[in-house]
Amino acid sequence: MSVLSIRDLYKEIGKNIFIHPLKIDNIKANTINLTASKFAWSVKANDSICNDGKIIKIEPNDTALIYTKEAIYVTRKIGGTYHSKVSLVSKGLGHIGTTLDPEYLGLSLIAVHNHSGKAFELKVGSTFVSLMFHYLKTPTFAVSHNNVPGQIGILQGYDNTSDFENWKNEHDWINEQRKLKKKMRGSNEYNEMKKYLKDIKFEEWKLIYLLFNHRVTKWFIFSVLIVVMMAIYYYFNSVIPIELSVVIVSLFGMFILYEIRDYYK
């Protein structure tokens, strides 16, 4: 497996990676940061710990189960790993270590433990976990896991899950591949990302054009071609003395140096 860089992520989003809602600012050098939704429960209390829809309160030595706002679908060519954010671990929250299976579909349910001696408050909508994507050496089988979308079965026995159930039913795109793809592709953030990617590619081609259009580059390429042609001619005919070849090459080299000096005057 190999980790996807930001360039790979831009290329694969909309092709082998689908995520909604997508936030461009959360796409980092080799990860995508995911945000906390208002749907969160305490493992100790088996109850919701986000009563106002704004703050998730994790008590000391308790574990919170938190759904991400983002729903994800990846193809058989992509896997992933979830990682903690240093900014949160340094405040007493435990490390996050779990995997994203190929062909996973749905929200991510993340377990976060509070090791500190005081309650920790996490704002809804803030980033709290980083998802690193990996290319698989070979695609997996058509059905590589039996995970239920959003792993809803884990919440069996927890109180106050009806709000989440109602929200899930109203937003069926989180559990349906076709609807998730359509939702992402129709979003402003996704289209802004594609436009940004096109602008980057245009600038890269523009740089290449300017490089090859520069007179120093032109003369350098021209001189290389002349030398190659002379070498081929000499090889097949052996009529051009090697000394003459050296003189001609030296003259071309002096001319290129003159052009460079003249350019930087």
What confidence score (pLDDT) does residue 51 get? 84
The answer as to whether 231 is a domain residue is yes
20 vs 216, which has greater pLDDT? 20
pLDDT value of residue 198: 78
Instruction: Give strand pairing partners of 82.
Output: 98, 131
The boundaries of the domain holding residue 247 are: 214-263
Q: What was the pLDDT predicted at 154?
A: 87
* Residue 87 is assigned to a structural domain of this protein: yes
Give me the DSSP letters along the chain.
-EE--HHHHHHHBTTTEEEES--GGGB-SS-EEEEEEEEEEETTTTEES-SSSSEEEE-TT-EEEEEEEEEEEE-TTEEEEEE--HHHHTTTBPP-EEEE-TT-EEEEEEEEEB-SSS-EEEETTSEEEEEEEEE-SS---SS---PPGGGGGGGTT-SS-HHHHHHHHH-GGGG-HHHHHHHHHTSHHHHHHHHHHHHHHHHHHHHHHHHHHSHHHHHHHHHHHHHHHHHHHHHHH--S-HHHHHHHHHHHHHHHHHHHHHHT-
Whether residue 156 is predicted with pLDDT greater than 70 in this model: the reply is yes
Q: Which residue has the tokens 């698989």?
A: 136
What's the pLDDT score for residue 196? 82
Task: State mean pLDDT over 109-124.
Answer: 95
Q: Is the pLDDT of residue 15 over 60?
A: yes
Q: Region 48-67: what's the mean pLDDT?
A: 95
Mean pLDDT of 134-150: 77
Contact 173, 149 (CB under 8 A): no
- pLDDT greater than 90 at residue 186: yes
Residue 201 lies inside a defined structural domain of this protein: no
Residue 204 lies in a domain: no
Determine the Cα–Cα distance for residues 74 and 82; give it in Å rounded to an integer: 14
> How far apart, in whole angstroms, are the C-alpha atoms of residue 11 and residue 199?
14
How far apart, in whole angstroms, are the C-alpha atoms of residue 123 and residue 50?
10
* C-alpha closest to that of 22 among 11, 7, 32: 32
pLDDT band at 207 (very low <50, low <70, confident <90, very high): low
| pTM score of the predicted model | 0.76
Residues 37 and 101 in one domain: yes
Listed residue (38, 40, 30) closest to 7, CA to CA:
30
More confident residue, 210 or 64: 64
Residue 110: its pLDDT value, please?
A: 96
Query: How many domains does the chain divide into?
Result: 2
Residue 124: the pLDDT is 97
Shared domain for 144 and 181, answered yes or no, is: yes
Residues in the chain: 265
- Give the pLDDT of residue 97: 86
196 within a domain of the structure (yes/no): no
In a shared domain, residues 75 and 129: yes
Count Cβ atoms within 10 A of the Cβ of residue 83 and give its class: 0-12 exposed, 13-18 middle, 19 or more buried: middle
Q: How confident is the model at residue 236 (pLDDT cuts 50, 70, 90)?
A: low
- Asked whether the beta carbons of 174 and 150 are under 8 A apart, the reply is yes
Instruction: Give the domain-ending residue among 149, 167, 186.
Output: 186
- What are 23-47's pLDDT values in tens digits? 999 999 999 999 999 999 999 999 9
- Residues of the chain with pLDDT > 90, as a percent, come to 62
Shared-domain flag, residues 121 and 222: no
Per cent of the chain over pLDDT 70 is 73
**Across the chain, what does the average pLDDT equal?**
85
- Alpha-carbon distance of 80 to 12, in angstroms, equals 13
Residue 204 has pLDDT above 70, yes or no: no
Q: Are 18 and 104 in a shared domain?
A: yes
Task: Name the band, by pLDDT with cuts 50, 70 and 90, for residue 237.
Answer: low
Give 213's pLDDT tier (boundaries 50, 70, 90): low
Residue 242 lies in a domain: yes
Residue 18 exposure: Cα atoms within 13 Å on the Cβ side: 26
The verdict on whether omega for the bond into residue 21 sits within 30 degrees of 0, i.e. cis, is yes
pLDDT of residue 141: 81
pLDDT band per the 50, 70, 90 thresholds, residue 201: low
